[in-house]
A and B are shown apart, each in its own frame.
Chain A
Amino acid sequence: KAGVTQTPRYLIKTRGQQVTLSCSPISGHRSVSWYQQTPGQGLQFLFEYFSETQRNKGNFPGRFSGRQFSNSRSEMNVSTLELGDSALYLCASSRNQRQGNSPLHFGNGTRLTVT
């Protein structure tokens, strides 16, 4: 069974640009969540989608948005990039969003560098 796939693995953008990151969950998983990882802040929750609906949202500005498609694949978009957006962006999928103990399966992440 294929794992969680995130593309691209690396991305370099300049300030003011926008970027779209993609995440394909494990087959059969309907919940996808996104995290921003930085050395100073650790792992911060961005948002979670279940069956194409955003179920939870973290404390990030409106420049960060996402969506989930009918095949459970998810995209995350960041507009008007800032230097502080440089981070590792992780996506995770789980089978059932309503089961708190449903383990998260993570992708390898997308390393975004904003110059």
Chain B
Amino acid sequence: AQTVTQSQPEMSVQEAETVTLSCTYDTSESDYYLFWYKQPPSRQMILVIRQEAYKQQNATENRFSVNFQKAAKSFSLKISDSQLGDAAMYFCAYRSANRDDKIIFGKGTRLHILP
């Protein structure tokens, strides 16, 4: 069964600095999708960025980028120029592209932004 592991329950970063959140996953499949979702204190989960496993190029969305290492099964999220509004719970998620399977979430990393 697929698993998603986020080894950092909490992290802190100074405003305007860069922070990297770690995520590893386990799967025997070759075709899948990876996501980072953000959950601010308002509770609504928002998609931050997604990556197709067949694409070698790392996805980027403004200040958010990923480092996707398929062989290592690693999918880290880099947030550049951290802002106070980035404070949230971040969830890494996996979903198979080959089957009608459920999305699997990691347990999350709580990110604090220090002013």
List chain A positions with a Cβ less than 8 A from chain B: 3, 33, 35, 41-43, 45, 48, 55-56, 58, 88, 90, 92, 97-98, 100-101, 103-109
A-contacting residues of B (Cβ < 8 Å)? 32-33, 35, 37, 42-47, 50, 52, 91, 95-98, 100-108
B43 to chain A minimum Cβ distance, whole angstroms, is 5
Residues of B within 8 A of A90 (CB): 43, 45
**Would A42 and B100 count as touching, CB distance under 8 A?**
no
Task: Collect the chain B residues with CB atoms within 8 Å of residue A98's CB.
Answer: 100
The 9 A-B residue pairs whose C-beta atoms are closest, nearest first, are A42-B107, A106-B45, A43-B105, A100-B97, A101-B33, A56-B102, A103-B47, A45-B102, A100-B95
Q: Which of the listed residues A43, A90, A100 has the most CB atoms from chain B within 10 Å of its own CB?
A: A100
- Indicate if the CB atoms of B42 and A108 lie closer than 8 Å: yes
Q: Which residue of B lies closest to A58 (CB)?
A: B102
7 A-B pairs, CB-CB below 8 angstroms? A33-B102, A43-B107, A100-B98, A101-B50, A104-B103, A106-B46, A108-B44
Find chain A residues with CB under 8 A from B42 CB. 108
Q: Are A100 and B44 in contact (CB under 8 A)?
A: no
In the complex, the answer to whether A109 meets B101 with C-beta atoms within 8 Å is no
Query: Contacts A43-B91, A108-B42: A101 and B97 contacting too (C-beta < 8 A)?
Result: yes
